[in-house]
Amino acid sequence: MTMTIPPKAARHAWHTAVNPLHATVYFSPDTVREFAALGVENRTTANLAARAAAMGAVGAGVVAATFYNYSHEHLARHLPAVWDTISPQEAIAARYRAADATLRRLLGEEAIASAELAEAAELALRATEACTRHARPLYSAHADVPVPEEPHLRLWHATTLLREHRGDGHLTALLTAGLDPLEALVSHSATGRGMSGKWLQATRGWTEEDLDAAKRRLRERGLLDADGELTEDGVALRERVETETDRLDAAPYEHLGADGLARLAELGGGFVGRAIAGGAFPADLFGKA
């Protein structure tokens, strides 16, 4: 593909304006409340069911494959048992109700009703027109969910599609780089931009021993030093992973065009900033493992 957008512009927009807006639901009390009302009272179970539901009543094996960096044993404590309590269709509906409440709470009703939010929604949806389904199971499943009518939910839906589209491609890049699920997490945390060790254990189900073993493997490959910092080779490998992910995920943003992408980054970044200021994410979420 001939690139017409500035280098790394799509990556920047995804990290600052697309993915964080989608991810607000994972740490939202509104998600907990919506699922608890349906009998799913465990936060982890609710989040796993919410993201997996578009694929149907799947079990731990399918989710381990498509989510990539979760412990299968951890997943098996929640799936497929959750589907005895709630159907995938109910989970999808609860997730969108949670997204509605979360965005209203974090952004405020004035922003929800603004022309800028509606513009951001249409820009993001336009980008999704160039997403592709082949070899992208999570994106493809979520693309079958109907687009909501309300602008803020249209925006959240579009960020979900863009998030999963890039994520599916990212797994290909990780496999090509020879990074297993734990090594992918630990090396990402070592960049300072990934989850802290506390949150890797809490959300992905890995133990401290698992994380330590992954660090040893990365040191043996010359990717981490004795202090747990990325070596020159480690930095280069992580950049190759991101560059390959950019290449595999270029089509939506090329379709949007440089001006549209810049506008989406501007608008989405503003909404993300407001969400962060409103306490969308735990203060200790990111950091070196």
**Tens-digit pLDDT profile for residues 20-76:** 999 999 999 999 999 999 999 999 999 999 999 999 999 999 999 999 999 999 999
Least confident of 119-133, 145-159, 190-204: 190-204
Cβ atoms of residues 91 and 49 within 8 Å = yes
Q: What is the mean pLDDT of residues 170-188?
A: 97
Other C-beta atoms lying within 10 Å of the C-beta of residue 117 = 23
The position carrying tokens 């549209």 is 260
Average of per-residue pLDDT values in the chain: 96
Please state, in angstroms and rounded to a whole number, the distance separating the CA atoms of residues 268 and 278: 15
Please state, in angstroms and rounded to a whole number, the distance separating the CA atoms of residues 135 and 172: 9
Please state, in angstroms and rounded to a whole number, the distance separating the CA atoms of residues 100 and 148: 11
Please state, in angstroms and rounded to a whole number, the distance separating the CA atoms of residues 190 and 219: 12
75: tokens are 């997943």
Return the pLDDT at 7.
80
Interhelix angle 250-277/115-128, rounded to 10 degrees, is 150
Cβ atoms of residues 223 and 232 within 8 Å = no
What pTM value is reported for the model? 0.96
The answer to whether residue 1 scores a pLDDT higher than 70 is: no
227: tokens are 């202090």
Return the pLDDT at 123.
98
Q: What is the mean pLDDT of residues 111-116?
A: 98
Instruction: Measure Cα distances from 4 to 126, 140, 241 in Å.
Output: 17, 26, 21
Return the pLDDT at 6.
85
How do residues 234-274 score in pLDDT, each as one tens digit?
A: 999 999 999 999 999 999 999 999 999 999 999 999 999 99
Report the half-sphere exposure of 278 (CA within 13 A, side-chain side).
Answer: 19
Sign of dihedral through CA atoms 195, 201, 207, 208?
A: positive
103: tokens are 């965005």
CA angle 18, 258, 116 (to 5 degrees): 50
Q: What is the mean pLDDT of residues 196-213?
A: 91
Helices (H), 146-222: 151-177, 181-190, 197-204, 208-220
The answer to whether residue 289 scores a pLDDT higher than 60 is: no
Interhelix angle 232-248/250-277, rounded to 10 degrees, is 110
Please state, in angstroms and rounded to a whole number, the distance separating the CA atoms of residues 276 and 207: 28
How do residues 124-144 score in pLDDT, each as one tens digit?
A: 999 999 999 999 999 999 999
Interhelix angle 181-190/208-220, rounded to 10 degrees, is 80
Higher pLDDT, 138 or 7: 138
Return the pLDDT at 238.
97
The answer to whether residue 2 scores a pLDDT higher than 70 is: no
Q: Give Cβ neighbours of residue 120 (< 8 Å, ≥ 6 apart).
A: 155, 264, 267, 268, 271
Cβ atoms of residues 285 and 196 within 8 Å = yes
